[in-house]
Amino acid sequence: MIEPNNAIAFILHKIELLETQIQEILNSLVNINDLEEILSIISAIEQKIDCLQQQLGEFLINNNRIDNRLEQYLDHLQQQLEQISFHQDQFNLFYQPIIEQGSDDFEERSDLSDLLNWLEPHLPNQSLSNQIHSSIQPELPVCESLDTNKTKIERLLFWLICHKIFQFKKEHLSSKDFLLLYENGLREFQQINLTGLNLVGKNLRPINLTQANLSLANLTQTNLQNSNLSQANLSYANLCQANLYGVTFEAANLTYTNFYQANLERSQLIKAQLQNANLQQVNLIAANLSQANLTAANLSQAKLMGAKLNLVKFEQTKLIEAELKNVNLSNLDLSQANLQQANLTRINGQNANFSGTNLSKANLKEANLINADLSRANLQQANLHRANLKEANLIAANLSNANLVEAHLNSKCIGANLVNTDLRSANLCNAHLGGADLRGADLTSANLTGAILINAKLEGANLTNAQLQDATMPDGNQWKQ
């Protein structure tokens, strides 16, 4: 049999340890945003209380004699247990009836205010009741109305209310209910259905909407900075002028989404589905679009400086007047894309596919287009000053009136349209220009050494000071000085 003094000392020591643990837990609850973690903590407290109560019961059974000193210890022990159990009682008084009532009753109550009125009889005290009722007024959020006399457990209980309401109503949450939960501290809305919701101009940062359904939602001018919308469905949603700085859209469905003039700077759009999305005048500076699908999307006047575009699909994408200065486009497929008047200064377009692409009036100054496919591309009036087109495919490309001053062009230009093109000082050494139309082109000081000009049209071309050593002329004969 355990000696009374030793047993009491043992139990009191356990109580003191538990008191310290619970106090630390309650102090930390204010900073915990994960509701599942809060429920786990409450469960752990319950288990510790049950264990201590069992130890106390065993002690009383095994010790029939209770002297004054023992009675004093037991009274103290009982007070400690009651103080700890108070938290458990508040939890059970409020949380258990919700569980027993079941989801059917919740689903019948479409209005959150009505739902909170139903919960009122289960509240353990009037201060919590007042707190709940004040919370349904958006201008008086619970987090701000709590005063120093309110206990941490009251705040915890409101989190639990929000959690259960969210669990039962997540499939059909109204705008009013969603905003009430958000304004009172809830930030975890994974897999929630907010289809067609109107959240115009709301400040919702940061928030977790992973796998949420926001299709057809109106989020115009909404602030979602640094939020998580991974795998979310925002198809046909309106995010015009929204603040989406640093938002994660990884693997999200953004087809036909309207991002007009939105701020997507430093956003994560890895593997995002952006087919037919409207990204006109969008800020995508330093955004990560790796493996995103931008087929038929409209990025006209979008800013893409510093953006990561690894393995992005740009087929039939509109990039009219887009800012792509210094961007890495190497190995990308931009076939049939529209880059009219786009700023492509100093881009790395090595091995890129620009076949059939509209690059008219585009600025490709000092661009790296080594081994790029520009066949059938429209480069009318494009600026290719000092561009490197070594080994590029320009078959049937239209370069009329383009600026190729000091460009490096030893490419396949068979059948290319170079009418009135400015090729002054251009490096066309060993270029294949068979059948190319160079009428009216300015080839002053151009290097055409070893170039093939069979069947090329040179009427009106200016060849002043051009280097033609070993060049094969239109008639098939080598040039003779």
Averages of pLDDT over each 10 residues, the chain, 481 residues: 48 56 54 51 59 55 46 49 46 45 42 49 46 40 33 41 46 71 76 89 92 94 97 96 98 97 98 97 98 96 96 94 96 94 97 95 96 92 92 86 84 80 85 87 89 90 91 85 69
State the residue range of the domain holding 37: 4-107
- Position 182 scores a pLDDT of 80
Between the alpha carbon of residue 108 and those of residues 103, 120, 146, 213, 465, the distances in Å are: 9, 17, 30, 22, 88
Tokens representing 245? 């700085």
Give the pTM.
Answer: 0.63
- Position 63 scores a pLDDT of 52
Between the alpha carbon of residue 239 and those of residues 73, 94, 288, 312, 379, the distances in Å are: 65, 39, 19, 22, 34
Residues 149, 44: Cα–Cα separation, whole Å: 26
Residues 452, 464: Cα–Cα separation, whole Å: 18
Phi, psi (rounded to 5 degrees) for 131: -65, -45
Q: What is the CA radius of gyration of the chain?
A: 36
CATH code for the domain in which residue 449 is found: 2.160.20.80
> Is residue 421 a contact partner of residue 397, using CB atoms and an 8 Å limit?
no
- Position 38 scores a pLDDT of 53
Does residue 154 lie in a domain region?
Answer: no
Does residue 371 lie in a domain region?
Answer: yes
Does residue 296 lie in a domain region?
Answer: no
Please say which residue of 86, 107, 128 terminates a domain.
107
Residues 164, 182: Cα–Cα separation, whole Å: 14
Does residue 253 lie in a domain region?
Answer: no
> Is residue 419 a contact partner of residue 462, using CB atoms and an 8 Å limit?
no
Please say which residue of 83, 107, 131 terminates a domain.
107
* Total domains in the fold of the chain: 2
Please say which residue of 90, 107, 124 terminates a domain.
107
Q: What is the DSSP string of 74-137?
A: HHHHHHHHHHHHHHHHHHHHHHHHHHHH-HHHHHT---HHHHHHHHGGG-SSHHHHHHHHHHTS
